[in-house]
């Protein structure tokens, strides 16, 4: 009897559990279906699309370079002595001829005075020698003086005159030494740090220490290296008359500094080296730029670009629209049915602020330039908003949300949002 009661209770419990399981499964199916229906009812995401323009462009080759001063002077003393004064403000511009350092000049003034006295003495002796030689000639003409005596007096006069020339040279040397106690700027430019301060002893000659440096500023050089292939391509174009030779000083360059996205500074190539560096396989080139506004400082990193081809027709696309899948580049285009389709592309260099598309796009193709992270898969319907390709990307609904617009401008891989 007890066994039958337990069996009935077990059967009743099993029936209740089975009913509960069926009910839970039914609820899960209903929730899933309602979620799928809600997802299917969601509107297509909004994206900004731009028609692909085809324009006449010229491609530029970009190089890395350094700004260098055209003139760079290490100022060293030409005479020895103690530094009396430092006469310039470190880091400021100086003019050619400005006195930058003053060396104690007392001993050099005394040396100049001694040399001048020696010159006066030599001139007196030279005058006496000329008088004696003149008298000796008259006596010799009257045969009152031997020829030997006359020639001796004339030689003495010539020697005295030579002593005058030597004394004059000594005076000039002493005057230069005195002048060099004032160490002057040899060029217009900007002075560096004073490496020697007042009271220090400096020496001339091979052991002369650097007092400071001065670099010119009105114009600057940009040194950069080109690889062999680029050098050979440019040489071939010059032979065909498609571009001037870099050796003629007529090749224009555009330069940008590290904080500049475009290339606002113009110059010309004024030097191309006479050989390729065997260790690097590059050849050194140099451009010259005006620096009237003192923007360029020697040592700055610079990006240099040269015209790398003639004009040609090219499809262009906003660089932010180009996505990467491992080693392949692609964009999303919107087809006639309003669906986003993946299009593999082959891209080239930048031109006029846009990326040259060598293969994969045609004029008028509508490329998604903003909101591409909302496209989870090819064939997905989207709501396109038309913008110009070179216009700042428009983000639907972000007019009153500046932070959203800033986020949408940067390209985010589609997989990043899909995972969320």
pLDDT of amino acid 247: 86
Check: pTM over 0.75? Answer yes or no.
Answer: no
- CA gap 359, 343 in Å, rounded: 10
Domain annotation covers residue 238: yes
Residue 235 CA: distances (Å) to CA of 57, 241, 334: 21, 10, 43
In a shared domain, residues 389 and 302: no
Domain annotation covers residue 83: no
Structural domain count, the chain? 3
pLDDT tens per residue, range 204-239: 988 899 999 999 999 999 999 999 999 999 999 889
In a shared domain, residues 325 and 348: yes
Domain annotation covers residue 374: yes
Residue 363: CATH number of its domain: 2.40.420.20
Backbone angles phi, psi at 95, to 5 degrees: -105, 155
Q: Which of 247, 279, 307 is the last residue of a domain?
A: 307
Contact at 8 Å (CB) between 26 and 34? no
Backbone angles phi, psi at 102, to 5 degrees: -120, 125
Residue 291: CATH number of its domain: 2.40.30.170
In a shared domain, residues 223 and 245: yes
pLDDT of amino acid 164: 95
Q: Which of 307, 339, 358 is the last residue of a domain?
A: 307
pLDDT of amino acid 49: 95
**pLDDT band of 335, cuts 50, 70, 90:** very high
Domain annotation covers residue 25: no
pLDDT tens per residue, range 86-139: 999 999 999 999 999 999 999 999 999 999 999 999 999 999 999 988 988 888
Residue 166: CATH number of its domain: 1.10.287
Domain annotation covers residue 54: yes
Residue 394 CA: distances (Å) to CA of 362, 398, 403, 407, 413: 22, 8, 13, 12, 18
pLDDT tens per residue, range 159-207: 999 999 999 999 999 999 999 999 999 999 999 999 999 999 999 988 8
Per-residue pLDDT at 294 exceeds 80: yes
Domain annotation covers residue 89: no
Q: Which of 180, 209, 227 is the last residue of a domain?
A: 180
**Residue that the structure tokens 């350094």 belong to:** 66
Task: Could you list the beta-strand ranges (E) of 70-145.
Answer: 72-75, 81-86, 93-94, 99-103
pLDDT of amino acid 399: 32
In a shared domain, residues 118 and 170: yes
**Residue that the structure tokens 């001993």 belong to:** 107
In a shared domain, residues 414 and 318: yes
Residue 407 CA: distances (Å) to CA of 127, 389, 394, 398, 401: 95, 19, 12, 10, 10
In a shared domain, residues 325 and 365: yes
**Angle ∠(409,413,414) on CA atoms, nearest 5:** 105
pLDDT tens per residue, range 341-385: 999 999 988 777 889 999 999 999 999 999 989 998 999 999 999
Beta bridge partners of 122: none
Tell me the Ramachandran region of residue 192: left when phi exceeds 0, alpha when psi lies from -120 to 50, beta otherwise. beta
Domain hosting residue 175, numbered range: 105-180
């Amino acid at each position: 009897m007890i066994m039958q009661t337990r069996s009935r209770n077990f059967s009743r419990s099993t029936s209740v559990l089975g009913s509960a399981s069926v009910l839970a499964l039914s609820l899960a199916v209903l929730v899933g279906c309602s979620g799928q229906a809600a997802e299917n009812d969601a509107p297509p995401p909004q994206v900004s699309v731009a028609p692909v323009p085809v324009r006449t462009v010229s491609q530029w080759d970009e190089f890395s370079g350094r700004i260098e001063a055209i003139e760079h002077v290490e100022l060293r003393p030409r005479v020895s002595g103690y530094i009396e004064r430092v006469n310039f403000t470190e880091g400021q511009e100086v003019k050619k001829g400005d006195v930058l350092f003053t060396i104690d000049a007392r001993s050099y003034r005394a040396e100049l005075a001694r040399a001048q006295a020696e010159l006066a003495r030599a001139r007196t002796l030279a005058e006496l020698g000329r008088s004696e030689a003149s008298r000796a000639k008259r006596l010799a003409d009257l045969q009152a003086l031997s020829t030997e005596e006359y020639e001796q007096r004339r030689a003495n006069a010539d020697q005295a005159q030579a002593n005058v020339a030597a004394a004059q040279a000594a005076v000039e040397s002493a005057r230069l030494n005195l002048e060099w106690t004032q160490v002057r700027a040899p060029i217009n430019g900007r002075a560096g740090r004073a490496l020697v301060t007042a009271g220090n002893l400096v020496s001339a000659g091979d052991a002369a220490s650097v007092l400071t440096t001065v670099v010119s500023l009105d114009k600057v050089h940009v040194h950069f290296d080109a690889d062999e292939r680029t050098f050979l391509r440019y040489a071939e174009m010059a032979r065909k008359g498609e571009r001037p030779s870099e050796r003629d000083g007529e090749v224009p360059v555009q330069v940008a500094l590290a904080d500049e996205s475009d290339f606002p500074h113009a110059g010309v190539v004024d030097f191309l080296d006479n050989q390729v560096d065997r260790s690097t396989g590059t050849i050194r080139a140099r451009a010259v730029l005006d620096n009237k506004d003192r923007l360029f400082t020697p040592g700055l990193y610079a990006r240099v670009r040269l015209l790398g081809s003639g004009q040609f027709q090219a499809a262009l696309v906003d660089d932010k629209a180009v996505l990467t899948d491992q080693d392949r580049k692609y964009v999303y285009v919107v087809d006639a049915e309003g669906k986003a389709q993946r299009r593999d592309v082959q891209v080239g260099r930048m031109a006029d602020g846009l990326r040259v598309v060598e293969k994969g796009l045609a004029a008028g193709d509508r490329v998604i330039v903003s909101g591409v992270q909302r496209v989870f898969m090819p064939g997905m319907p989207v709501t396109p908003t038309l913008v110009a390709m070179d216009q700042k990307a428009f983000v639907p609904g972000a007019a009153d949300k500046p932070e959203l617009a800033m986020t949408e401008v940067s390209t985010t891989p589609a997989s990043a949002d899909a995972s969320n």
